[in-house]
């Protein structure tokens, strides 16, 4: 396609020349390079240059060829641009940062303070922390402290599967292990593992703190590791480690020749002592990684820690050295990231200072996404802390916010589809208020969530004591009101006779009296033991969701007031009960006169059914207030005048008559309420 395009613009002779050059380049140079893997002959000695650049330059500079300008420009943009990555190391000895020289502790740095050291290198994306003297308990605490905020890899002191499991579960990205621990290596997910191989100048593998020479050639070891699925290998050249003399290029050259061609090789520089001793500086490292344009500048997007883009600037090497001093306003740099081509950068800053030369916080006047930026909203909430507003009062009373969150949860559970956004927003904002009230930030939450992204399911197998055993049926049943209906349902429908003992004996047993009925809902090949657990209906859903029980027997009016996590396997109608709204005899109920400034208080155990009833009768949710309660709702009318209405399941109605109450309206009539078994 490209060749035919050239031909149309350049004429026949030019077309033939281009075809010849193109075929020669593809067949004789490019393909040969990848077939023979010539990295060791080219880039290793000049890592800013590629072998084929001279050929392309000859092609572009050939005056006989009329190559369109935009194609020349395209090549100038993509030439010599690969993503450049580095890994910064911090070695710890007794929990203090140190320098290592040929496997020996050389000196402490950063005032022996790992926090100071981390603050210095935190601008980098990848950080490797090595525990040199295997004081695992101490280093473990340090790693867990740091990994919640930084992109951490770790190694050293990892001797057992329990050690590694603990590290990976804490959110560490990779664990670094010695190449000789084959049995341990096989048990660890390979995408979370880096194998470290220490070698001498003869390419012989060193182990046990690099004190023992195995006389195993590194190529043999690499092949062995590849066979068991290892994806990342780190090579330490012990004789040059920490000497600040650079890498042993000839040794690397010889190794690359020997490494099989089928192994994909992505080279990442590991930087340690040279950074800590200021042989290399942070700005010099980034300047060497960035591809500057022909004017020696690079575009940089400046973004604050909340995601707001403050501006776009163009930086040269000097401005990068000065860490983003632009428009006369200082910005505290948190992190610098390069894009996939390393020719533009993203700088994350933590600063309230304005960025724009006009004095504005951002150069961009309108960023609509910031309207929903949770960090921005959280900052607004915090600003109300000491005011007399609702938000301020709630922030100063964290336990009160928790009760409000419980209320908002039930409003969300009961909300119609059209009202979900409103109720979710209410719940969300009260969670943010609660975070502020206990001194937690959204950054704390986002760090925790990011850690969980990297958290590994446990490598250690434990007996699961929480869940019901697979061969056990554990049915939750009621032990209070209407328990006799549960017993009748179990016996008549499921073939289970429930045996309850008198006095203070809490034992409840189940006897299978009809095997045909029982087998219909409980297959023989799955279960062997039957147990019954009496509990409050409101607890049944949570027990079922957490797999503490296998089944529940209760009414659909209970189940429908909780998240839909269970499956009904059988139900029948209970023709004797109905759900009603109850009031005092003397009270006048006039929903048309309810307003958002004159809301009646209603005690509700069946909040979803009641909300739907009001919705079906065009009574908006902002004209009443529901309090979620559990049981004995009639008492809210008898013992206080605060509540205008309550809902309740009615059987005989004697409680209502005896307490001078009345049925105001029917929510669910007789013949529409079911007793059922769910799993």
Q: Report how far Cα 213 is from the mean position of its chain's Cα atoms.
A: 42
pLDDT of the residue at 323: 61
**CA dist list (Å): 16 to 12, 71, 300, 330, 659:** 6, 18, 43, 58, 105
Domains and CATH numbers, the chain: 1-79 (no CATH), 88-277 (3.20.20.70), 286-350 (3.10.20.810), 374-454 (1.10.287.1080), 464-678 (3.40.190.10)
Q: Report residue 210 as tokens.
A: 């690099």
- Residue 246 has a pLDDT of 80
pLDDT value at position 136?
55
For 143, 229, 231, the CA distances from 193, given in Å and listed in that order, are 16, 10, 8
Report how far residue 360's alpha carbon sits from residue 364's, in angstroms, rounded to the nearest whole number: 9
Q: Which residue has the tokens 């940062």?
A: 97
CA distance 483 to 499: 12
**Averaged in consecutive runs of 10 residues, what is the pLDDT profile of the chain (679 residues)?**
35 64 68 59 53 69 75 63 79 90 87 92 88 72 82 83 84 84 84 89 88 91 88 88 83 80 71 90 86 87 85 88 54 82 85 79 65 73 90 91 88 85 91 92 82 71 52 86 88 93 85 92 75 87 88 92 88 95 95 91 92 92 89 90 94 92 96 93
Contact 304, 350 (CB under 8 A): yes
Alpha carbon distance, N-terminus to C-terminus of the chain: 62
Find, among 637, 630, 679, 678, the residue nearest to 655 by Cα. Answer: 637
Please state, in angstroms and rounded to a whole number, the distance separating the CA atoms of residues 330 and 118. Answer: 22
Instruction: Determine the pLDDT at residue 463.
Output: 44
Q: What is the pTM of this model?
A: 0.61
The residues near 444 (Cβ < 8 Å, ≥ 6 apart) are 435
346: closest CA among 311, 374, 377, 318?
311
Cβ neighbourhood burial of 135 (10 Å; 0-12, 13-18, 19+): middle
CB 653 within 8 A of CB 666: no
Give the helix, strand, coil percentages of the chain, each rounded to 5. Answer: 40, 25, 40
User: Which residues are CB-neighbours of 539 under 8 A, at least 6 positions away?
Assistant: 476
CB 376 within 8 A of CB 368: no
User: Starting from the edge strand earliest in sequence, which strands make up the sheet with 529-534, in order?
Assistant: 529-534, 472-477, 551-555, 674-678, 568-573
Given a contact cutoff of 8 angstroms between Cβ atoms, the answer to whether 55 and 25 are in contact is yes
* Angle at CA of residue 320, ends 443 and 310, nearest 5°: 45
Encode 208-247: b = buried (16+ Cβ within 10 Å), e = exposed.
eebeeeeebebeebbeebeeeebebbbbbbbebbbeeeee
What confidence score (pLDDT) does residue 5 get? Answer: 33
Beta bridge partners of 65: none
Let me know: does 553 contact 641? Beta carbons within 8 Å. Answer: no
Beta bridge partners of 583: 662
Answer whether 549's CB lies under 8 Å from 542's CB.
no
The residues pairing with 580 across neighbouring beta strands, listed in sequence order, are 648, 666
**Strand-pair category, 643-650 with 551-555:** unpaired
Beta 127-131 vs 152-155: how paired, if at all? parallel
Q: For position 546, what pLDDT does the model report?
A: 84
Phi, psi dihedrals of residue 522, rounded to the nearest 5°: -130, 90
pLDDT in tens, 620-672: 888 999 998 887 889 999 999 999 999 999 999 999 999 999 999 999 999 99
| DSSP bridge pairs for 195 | 177, 233
Residues ≥6 apart with Cβ < 8 Å to 194: 153, 155, 174, 175, 176, 177, 232, 233, 234
């Amino acid at each position: 396609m490209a060749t035919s395009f050239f031909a149309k613009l350049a004429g026949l002779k030019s077309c033939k020349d281009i075809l010849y050059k193109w075929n020669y380049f593809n067949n004789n140079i490019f393909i040969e390079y990848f077939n023979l893997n010539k990295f060791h002959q080219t880039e290793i000695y000049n890592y800013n240059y590629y072998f084929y650049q001279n050929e392309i330059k000859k092609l572009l500079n050939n005056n006989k060829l009329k190559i369109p300008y935009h194609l020349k420009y395209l090549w100038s943009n993509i030439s010599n641009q690969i993503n450049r990555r580095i890994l910064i190391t911090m070695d710890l000895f007794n929990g203090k940062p140190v320098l290592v020289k040929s496997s020996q502790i050389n000196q402490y740095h950063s005032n022996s303070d790992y926090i100071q050291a981390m603050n210095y290198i935190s601008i980098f994306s990848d950080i490797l922390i090595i525990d040199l003297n295997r004081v695992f308990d101490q280093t473990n605490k340090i790693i867990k402290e740091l990994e919640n905020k930084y992109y951490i890899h770790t190694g050293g002191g990892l001797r057992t599967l329990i050690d590694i499991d603990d590290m990976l579960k804490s959110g560490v990205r990779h664990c670094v292990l010695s190449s000789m621990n084959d049995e341990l290596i096989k048990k660890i997910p390979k995408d979370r593992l880096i194998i470290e191989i220490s070698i001498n100048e003869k390419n012989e593998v060193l182990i046990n703190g690099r004190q023992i020479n195995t006389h195993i050639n590194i190529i043999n070891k690499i092949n062995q590791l590849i066979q068991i699925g290892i994806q990342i290998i780190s090579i330490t050249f012990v004789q040059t480690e920490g000497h600040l003399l650079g890498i042993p290029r000839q040794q690397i050259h010889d190794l690359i020749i020997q490494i099989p061609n089928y192994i994909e090789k992505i080279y990442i520089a590991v930087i340690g002592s040279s950074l800590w001793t200021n042989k290399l500086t942070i700005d010099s490292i980034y300047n060497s990684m960035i591809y500057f344009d022909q004017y020696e500048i690079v575009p940089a997007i400046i973004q604050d820690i909340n995601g707001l883009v403050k501006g776009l600037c163009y930086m040269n090497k000097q401005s990068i050295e000065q860490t983003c001093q632009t428009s006369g306003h200082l910005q505290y740099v948190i992190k610098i990231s390069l894009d996939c081509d390393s020719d533009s950068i993203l700088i994350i800053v933590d600063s309230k200072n304005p960025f724009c030369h006009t004095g504005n916080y951002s150069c961009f006047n309108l960023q609509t996404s910031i309207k929903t930026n949770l960090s921005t909203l959280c900052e607004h909430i915090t600003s109300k802390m000491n005011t007399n507003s609702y938000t301020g009062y709630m922030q100063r009373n964290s336990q009160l916010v928790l009760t409000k969150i419980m209320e908002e949860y039930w409003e969300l559970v009961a909300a119609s589809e059209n009202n979900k956004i409103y109720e979710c927003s209410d719940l969300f904002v009260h969670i943010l208020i609660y975070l502020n009230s206990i001194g937690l930030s959204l950054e704390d939450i986002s760090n925790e969530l990011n850690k969980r992204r990297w958290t590994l399911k446990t490598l250690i197998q434990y007996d699961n004591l929480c869940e019901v055993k697979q061969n056990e049926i554990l049915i939750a049943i009621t032990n209070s009101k209407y328990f006799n209906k549960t017993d009748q349902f179990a016996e008549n429908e499921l073939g289970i006779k429930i045996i309850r003992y008198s006095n203070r004996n809490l034992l409840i047993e189940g006897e299978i009296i009809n095997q045909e009925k029982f087998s219909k809902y409980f297959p023989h090949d799955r279960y062997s033991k039957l147990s019954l657990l009496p509990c409050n209906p409101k607890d049944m859903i949570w027990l079922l969701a957490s797999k503490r029980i296998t089944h529940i027997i209760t009414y659909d009016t209970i189940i429908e007031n909780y998240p839909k996590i269970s499956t009904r396997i059988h139900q029948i109608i209970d023709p004797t009960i109905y759900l009603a709204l109850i009031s005092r005899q003397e009270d006048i109920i006039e929903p048309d006169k309810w307003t958002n400034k004159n809301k009646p208080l209603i005690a509700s155990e069946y909040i979803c059914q009641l909300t739907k009833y009001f919705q079906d009768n065009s009574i908006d949710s902002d004209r009443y207030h529901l309090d979620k309660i559990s049981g004995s709702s009639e008492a809210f009318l008898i013992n206080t005048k605060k509540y205008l209405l309550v809902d309740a399941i009615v059987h005989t109605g004697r409680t209502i008559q005896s307490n001078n109450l009345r049925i105001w309206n029917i929510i669910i009539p007789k013949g529409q309420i079911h007793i059922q078994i769910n799993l």
